[in-house]
Amino acid sequence: MIALYSIIALSLTGLYLLVVAYLIKGWAALKRPPVNTTGFTTKVTILIAARNEADRISYTIDDIIAQDYPKELTEIIIVDDHSTDGTADIIRSYANYGVRLLQLNEDKPLNSYKKKAIAEAIALSHGELMVCTDADCRMGTRWLSSIVGYYETYQPVMISSPVTYFEETSLFERLQTLEFSYLIGIGAAFIGNGRASTCNGANFAYRKDVFYEVGGFKGIDDLASGDDELLLQKVAEVYPHQIGFFKNHNAVVYTHAKHTLQEFLQQRRRWASKSTRYKDKKVVALAVCIWLFNLSLLVNGLLGFYSLVYLKLFLIQFLLKYLIEVAFLLPITAFFKRVNLVSLLILLGPIHIIYFVYVGLIGNTRKYAWKGRIVK
């Protein structure tokens, strides 16, 4: 029985190594392409759905206004999603800068307020290219021009661009930055391998006509989350080879890690809730196998206190996992200019095993809190 279990555990380990090797290949396949930087012609609509973001939204709007992209080609629409603080008033104060406020006024409860907000904004937009970000994000002055330059040069129908955390104030937040870099790397690598599956809505662009061509959020609007990944997967079915990841430092969007463990787990539970709706069931099956791999690590780590056999098995699995993840994370953190974070992987590794198993168990079985609402 122990021999059979060991074979299964090592097989799962081998599968994980192959998956990460595939990701390493995908990230390496993403080049830093030269892009058009002058003579822009694309009308762009910047979309933000905001709810109770009074503390930070002014920084985001200031960064957007400061973009070096032609103002006559830029439209800014920010949707206030029933905020109970001063978010709407702050947005309204930027009217003279061309910022347009749209306020949701839904009298019936929804489970997908953010998708509703984005869809309403798109319906009112005049742009060809929708560029989405979040109300608590920061970006450099060349963010928009670099993304549009990539769009005009290579004509993708959808663009996922890099997101990272910054301004960390604790070890917990730095660990999140490393883990988040891993997640961004996964989405980028899948695109690099020609199999777009995941992305992040904080830095996401797509053609307006393509949004309507695939039916917008129809079919996924019953889920609170998924305005990014699930939409990407709908588009990938129609345009599998016209989705790009823009590997350019000017295009990076910066946001903040969660300050508390409870906030972090709520966020990850929300992200995990999308997984059962993935259209590519091979990706879902792969995610299940990776969860089983982490479960085997957790079981072997616990049984290692009672048996040397399980301890050795755990150490082999953990060492191989650590080495392949270092190989994956080094080029990603180098891109973000945060290579020093990789030194934290030896600490993050054991924590991540427990967290991964936990979130996998509860991500699709329990409701979670998001922006002051309980959703599923």
Domain ranges of the chain: 2-26+280-375, 33-162+203-257
Average the pLDDT over 147-162 and give the result. 97
CA-CA-CA-CA torsion for 317, 359, 194, 329, nearest 10 degrees? -50
Confidence of residue 283 (pLDDT cuts 50, 70, 90): confident
Instruction: Provide long-range contacts, Cβ within 8 A and 24+ apart, for 353-356.
Output: 353/294, 353/297, 353/298, 353/301, 354/298, 355/268, 356/290, 356/291, 356/294
Query: Taking every pair of C-alpha atoms in the chain, what is the biggest distance, in angstroms?
Result: 72
| Lowest pLDDT segment from 66-80, 102-116, 182-196 | 102-116
CATH class of the structural domain 33-162+203-257? alpha beta
Report strand pairing: 373-375 vs 368-370. antiparallel
Number of other CB atoms surrounding residue 356 within 10 Å: 20
User: 254 Cβ partners below 8 Å, 6+ apart?
Assistant: 137, 138, 139, 163, 164, 165, 166, 167
| Cα gap 198→186, rounded to integer Å | 8
CB atoms within 10 A of CB 7: 10
Q: What is the mean pLDDT of the chain?
A: 92
Query: Contact, 82 vs 106, CB < 8 A?
Result: yes
Query: What is the predicted pLDDT for the residue at 370?
Result: 53
Q: At 129, phi and psi to the nearest 5? A: -115, 120
Structure tokens at 285: 């099956």
Lowest mean pLDDT among 128-142, 248-262, 267-281: 267-281
Percent of the chain beyond pLDDT 90? 77
pLDDT for the residue 271: 77
d(CA 61, CA 136): 9
**In the prediction, which pLDDT does 189 show?**
97
> Do the beta carbons of residue 341 and residue 178 sit within 8 Å?
yes
> Are the beta carbons of 182 and 106 closer than 8 angstroms?
no
Q: What are phi and psi of 80, to 5 degrees?
A: -90, 115
